[in-house]
A and B are shown apart, each in its own frame.
Chain A
Amino acid sequence: MQLSGHDLICVRGGRQVFAGLDFAAVSGEAVAVVGRNGSGKTSLLRLIAGLLVPAGGKIALEGGDAELTLPEQCHYLGHRDALKPALSVAENLTFWADFLGGERLDFTESLATVGLEHATHLPAGFLSAGQRRRLSLARLLTVRRPVWLLDEPTNALDVAGQDMFAGLMCEHLSRGGMIIAATHAPLGIDSRELRIGGVA
């Protein structure tokens, strides 16, 4: 499986964020997108996720599920965690599992992995920022998708959380998954660096 972008141009709000960007990633590989603020790291992830339309160039996934589009095979973990404070932790997670569909894992197992099993039936509104991020990670585990698009994934995670997350990423890669992460901090796993927009 190979994900590649060719000669990508991104324009947002009338401003050209980047142009002529090429990238490629294969199964089992993590790509760390680095660059200064405003260089278009988030925009690149959103282009891949289909949440932005490129002004030029092409993104293609070879060797994936031919019946699904690229965004349907991606997990997108953005700045905002897509959680409803009024629903319980379990309700939040089962909703996304039901809604996203496809191959899925038992949610109690993924909650245990991210260290939230004690909070299963508590409202998500009671969680701290780091715990909310852990719950978002549980979503990535519950629903299997080959491509993970992560935007500053280690934000708000403590040291133990970052270690846990590094373990999860390794597992995902070893199963033939692919990770593209926009990050300032080191990811904590072996990754190839993709620098955009000049020197940070």
Chain B
Amino acid sequence: MTLIDLANPTRFLALTARVLPWLAAATVLLLAIGLYQTALAPDDYQQGATVKIMFIHVPNAWLSMFVWGVMSIASLGTLVWRHPLADVAAKAAAPIGAAFTFLALLTGSLWGRPMWGTYWEWDARLTSVLILFLMYLGLMALWRAVDDPSRAARAAAVLTLVGALNLPIIKFSVDWWNTLHQPASVMRMGGSALDKSFLIPLLVMAIAFTLLFVTLHLAAMRNEILRRRVRSLQMMQASRVAFSSEMGATSRGQNASKEVGAA
């Protein structure tokens, strides 16, 4: 299986049709194992059961960045290698990435509620993720703004790459902005020294969520390919059948003028 093989959308559809059920099964299995281990994991001596939000939050946060990376590679594929599936991959990934980012924000604020007393704190990490979320939404708006996907693809690719270069800068500025205003009393989320009883379920969950992304992404790519086929079929229908109906219209037109002439 090489990239060249995958370049053919038909081949891609056939291949993914075979792979997807296995992927989905593996995802469900790993998620089940991860959730089970999460349930078994001990409560934190400070945070109590709240700490278990971490097992959902951290994988989502990791994926929010990972998906942007996937889109950046796909964008390179669009701009540099002109791979025919690259813009399909980029377009399909954007809403999924936005969803993971949203879940990261949501779980983050639920986790923060008992610690900060508010649902939202302009904490450096959460704020960066919020900006990332806005960039995802902007990218989706760009895809939606143009009807023709191949025209939108290049613009979206440029924006994605600029975003990838800009994200570290944004992250750095937000950190700086935040420490400027708040002396370092900010909660360290996740902590650095994790016990093994936390680490293993967390890793399992991370892998499970990554698999979930791969599954969803492949399915979304299939949908996008099919959607484009429907679109081109519709365009063909608009132009092709016009020809045959033109003949009908001609005869009708002639009939009409004959009738008028007779009248």
Contact = CB atoms under 8 A, between A and B. Distances in A.
A and B touch in the complex (CB under 8 A): yes
Interface of A: 85-86, 113-119, 122-123, 125-128, 131, 158, 160-161, 163-168, 170-171, 173-174, 189
A85 B147 CA distance: 10
B148 to A, nearest CB: 9
Interface size grouping (class) on chain B: 20 to 34
A114 B245 CA distance: 9
B195 interface: no
Given A85-B147, A127-B238, A171-B260, A118 B245 contact: yes
Q: Which of A114, A128, A163, A171 has the most CB of B within 10 A?
A: A163
Q: A-side binding surface: helix, strand, loop or mixed?
A: helix
Contact of A167 (B238, B245, B257): B257
Interface string B228-261: 0000001101110110011111101111110110
B1 interface: no
B248 A170 contact: no
8 contacts: A114-B249, A116-B245, A118-B238, A123-B234, A160-B246, A163-B257, A167-B254, A171-B256
A113 B248 CA distance: 9
A126 B148 CA distance: 11
Given A170-B257, A171-B256, A119 B237 contact: yes
A165 B253 contact: yes
Contacts of B234: 122-123, 126
B256 A170 contact: yes
Given A118-B237, A118-B245, A160-B250, A125 B255 contact: no
Contacts of B248: 115
Nearest to B238: A126
Contact of A161 (B241, B246, B256, B263): B246
